[in-house]
Amino acid sequence: MTRFIDPVYDTAFKLIFGQENSKDLLLDFLNALLAGEKKIKEIRLTDKERMPFYNGGRKGIYDIACLSEKGEHFIVEMQNIRQEYFFDRALYYLSQTIANQGEKGTEWEFDLKAVYGVFFLNFPLHGKLRTDGIIADRDTHEQISDKQRFIFIELPFFTKKESECKTNVEQWLYILRNMTTLEKIPFKDRNPVFEKLERITDLASLSKEERQRYDADIRMYRDRLAQMNTAKRDGRKEGKKEGKKEAQTEIARNLKTKGLSADFIAETTGLSVEEIDKL
């Protein structure tokens, strides 16, 4: 029987990283992700909704949004189902957060704070575990601005065993990737935040409302997956049907050029005489 919640679902992911009483887990993960690059001392959870710039525009609604003590913005998302334009969506989210920093008046001189997007993907996108996107010169590949940063983590490509996880970020990814099969959360002797993670993610610790939302997430995902699979099967059937039709038409066209009768071609290919006459 599964002991822990599955972080790929919306409710579970927000329980782990998006609550006031669990933001120390988010802080620890972000510092693990950016180890050797920066050290965030504290974070403040912010409004996850960004209003559009005009009536009828599309809002940005994130899983988790927070600010560092230096005013840097972090958008953290979990995407469970493949989305064709997911990178464009990520770009839209970061750009919207950049644009929302604009201030009225002539005194503001475009003093922007950096925006980081951290996107967990439960499907392949770029074909590797981690992809870092920056604004860089095309020829020299040197970074020309640190105001926009994309980090994509493709969970299917994390395959390390527990004994192989040496760094803090590897330990985090191992837990998130394998949480539904774990009997207990590992690495607690190396990082005390995992003690808290174990308490928060235990299914038995969820309130009635949290469990209802979590179960609803799972049902919605399964329903959507079933719909997608049905659409794929229907598409394959339609494709086979179209392919057969094209083959019949090509055969009929060849027979017609040889001067054979429409009745004979219809009997051979299954096409109607009217369809053959139009070729």
Q: Does any domain span residue 175?
A: yes
**Are 245 and 131 members of one domain?**
no
**Does the pLDDT of residue 106 top 80, yes or no?**
no
Please state the separation of Cα 190 from the chain's center in Å: 29
Q: End of a domain among 184, 206, 228?
A: 206
More confident: 204 or 242: 204
Give how far Cα 51 sits from Cα of 48, 92, 96, 98, 100, Å.
10, 13, 9, 13, 9
User: Rounded to an integer, what distance in angstroms lies between the CA atom of residue 157 and that of residue 183?
Assistant: 23
Q: End of a domain among 206, 229, 257?
A: 206
Characterize the bridge pairing of strands 64-68 and 115-121. unpaired
**Are 97 and 192 members of one domain?**
yes
More confident: 170 or 110: 170
Residue 75 in contact with residue 115, Cβ under 8 Å?
yes
Joined tokens for residue 89: 């969506």
Would you place residue 55 in the very low, low, confident or very high pLDDT band (cuts 50, 70, 90)? very low
Q: Does any domain span residue 51?
A: yes
**Are 173 and 213 members of one domain?**
no
Residue holding tokens 């527990």?
162
**Are 119 and 140 members of one domain?**
yes
Residue 210 in contact with residue 11, Cβ under 8 Å?
yes
Using only C-alpha atoms, what is the Rg of the chain?
A: 26
pLDDT of residue 52: 47
**Are 191 and 217 members of one domain?**
no
Q: Does any domain span residue 196?
A: yes
Percent of the chain with pLDDT over 70: 87
User: Which domain covers residue 104, as residue numbers?
Assistant: 10-206
**Are 130 and 179 members of one domain?**
yes
How many folded domains does the chain comprise?
2
User: Rounded to an integer, what distance in angstroms lies between the CA atom of residue 10 and that of residue 190?
Assistant: 28
**Does the pLDDT of residue 74 top 80, yes or no?**
yes
Mean pLDDT of the 174-188 span? 96
Q: Which of 169, 164, 170, 171 is nearest to 189 (CA)?
A: 171
**Are 168 and 94 members of one domain?**
yes
Cβ-Cβ contacts under 8 Å for 39 (sequence gap 6 or more): 31
